[in-house]
Amino acid sequence: MPGFEVFGAEERKHVSDVLESGVLMRYGFDGMRNGHWKAKEFEKAFAEKMQSQYCQLVSSGTSALTCALAAAGIGAGDEVIMPTFTFVASFESIMMLGAVPVLVDIDDTLTLDPKAVEAVITPKTRCVMPVHMCGSMADLNALRAICDKHGLILLEDACQALGGTYNGEPLGSIGDLGCFSFDFVKTITCGEGGGIITNNKIYAERLDQFQDHGHDHVGTDRGAESHPTLGYNFRISELHAAVGLAQLEKLDGILKAQKEHYTILRDSLAAIDGVTFRRVPEGGEENYSFLNFFLPTEALTQKAHKALKEAGVDACFYWYTNNWHYIKGWEHLRNFKSLGRLPEEIQKQMQDLNTTDFSKSDYWMGRTISSLVKICWSEAEVKQRAALIADVVKKVLS
């Protein structure tokens, strides 16, 4: 990770096809395309790769979440359960529809704690959104059971976990809907882009309509299409889809390199007393995009992170104090800093995030360090990095 590390002739070829036709939009202008339909090709290939019947490409991972929620009928006042450790897009996509994000604790998987999920279900709960952060997954068996018990939608945010599996099934394909990001720092990239997969025909039709202003896409005259529903413009362009199509062809090689490099890094830390690793649920396999490890205390973890930076180890993250990925940094959400008035349902129903006890999440996040796994490293570079990280951590813990 990320896919931009392997840009090459394949991406240039697919992009050139689009530029030579001059049609940058995914819809219409059939006679000018010279047979090139990059978004359609990408959707078909990605659905097959993810063992799903349908794929809808959109403009970003954030819009993928928004479209997925909309396709599931989530709207004003509906509650969506999400974790405290994620990206800001999780609550943004929920609130855009007037729905209410309900934040709950994570566990040692660094993803949704099923017990915390069940504890906050109300008559207004409509959806559970696990976020497979840093390449690994939530306990999907437990979450699926909870959703089935209460009649809830299970929406997988697999934006950071493309290529991971659970009981042999691709992450994103296990829930009712699964979302992916193809932005510039994801496992494969379109530059900007996202995708949703589902096996539900009704959801697939709604996704197709909602991401393109409600168009039904019936016939060959775009101007004559009807609008069965309100929608918005979340379309992907042909240029972005072209890049993604080339990147998808490289996914297996990317995942192989990530696993090899991850294993070297993990092995270097595994023998150090006091170092433990995030729990991967039984039956799960990460996509190996990050190595996530715990140290015994928050103070030692902060000290180790500082020492790693001083030693020149790049791409090592301490999410606990990161403004993008953890509740502590979301002051704008906690205090409702919006450009306009938020929907009344959000104002009335939303938990007070300044007073809610997230100490269980703090316990795990305060002790977590994540190392990005790059695919451009040589074997010698990976081993050198592994030895340096291990040496720094040993000194901090000694």
Distance between first and last Cα of the chain: 32
Question: Which of 191, 219, 250 lies at the terminal end of a domain, its last residue?
Answer: 250
Residues recorded for the chain: 398
13 and 66 belong to one structural domain: yes
From CA 10, how far away is CA 29, in angstroms rounded?
Answer: 25
The residue segments making up the domain with residue 344 are: 252-397
213 and 301 belong to one structural domain: no
263 and 374 belong to one structural domain: yes
Where does 93-204 show beta strands of DSSP type E?
100-104, 125-128, 153-157, 165-166, 169-170, 177-181, 194-198
189 and 279 belong to one structural domain: no
| Buried-exposed string 264-281: b where 16+ CB fall within 10 A, e elsewhere | bbbebbeebeebeebebb
The CATH number of whichever domain residue 104 belongs to comes to 3.40.640.10
Q: Write the CA distances from 153 to 54, 85, 95, 148, 190, integer angstroms.
A: 17, 20, 17, 8, 28
Domain count, the chain: 2
193 and 217 belong to one structural domain: yes
Q: Write the CA distances from 378 to 6, 212, 265, 321, 345, integer angstroms.
A: 13, 43, 13, 31, 52
| Cβ-based neighbour number of residue 390 at 10 Å | 18
Of 186, 250, 328, 374, which residue is the catalytic one? 186
Which residues lie closer than 8 Å to 287 by C-beta, 6 or more apart?
1, 135, 136, 161, 162, 163, 164, 171, 187, 255, 258
Question: Which of 250, 276, 309 lies at the terminal end of a domain, its last residue?
Answer: 250
The CATH number of whichever domain residue 337 belongs to comes to 3.90.1150.10
Q: Write the CA distances from 181 to 14, 61, 62, 159, 355, integer angstroms.
A: 20, 4, 8, 5, 32
pLDDT by residue, tens only, the chain of 398 residues = 789 999 999 999 999 999 999 999 999 999 999 999 999 999 999 999 999 999 999 999 999 999 999 999 999 999 999 999 999 999 999 999 999 999 999 999 999 999 999 999 999 999 999 999 999 999 999 999 999 999 999 999 999 999 999 999 999 999 999 999 999 999 999 999 999 999 999 999 999 999 999 999 999 899 999 999 999 999 999 999 999 999 999 999 999 999 999 999 999 999 999 999 999 999 999 999 999 999 999 999 999 999 999 999 999 999 999 999 999 999 999 999 999 999 999 999 999 999 999 999 999 999 999 999 999 999 999 999 999 999 999 999 99
198 and 332 belong to one structural domain: no
258 and 154 belong to one structural domain: no
- Secondary structure string (H, E, C) spanning 227-282: CCCCCCECCCCHHHHHHHHHHHCCHHHHHHHHHHHHHHHHHHHHCCCCCEECCCCC
261 and 363 belong to one structural domain: yes
pLDDT given for residue 2 in this prediction = 84
175 and 89 belong to one structural domain: yes
260 and 241 belong to one structural domain: no
pLDDT given for residue 231 in this prediction = 98
Question: Which of 225, 250, 275 lies at the terminal end of a domain, its last residue?
Answer: 250
171 and 60 belong to one structural domain: yes
Q: Is 310 helix (H, G, I), strand (E, B) or coil?
A: helix
Q: Is 179 helix (H, G, I), strand (E, B) or coil?
A: strand
Q: Is 149 a catalytic residue?
A: no
What is the separation of C-alpha 70 from the centre of its chain, rounded to a whole number of angstroms?
18
115 and 175 belong to one structural domain: yes
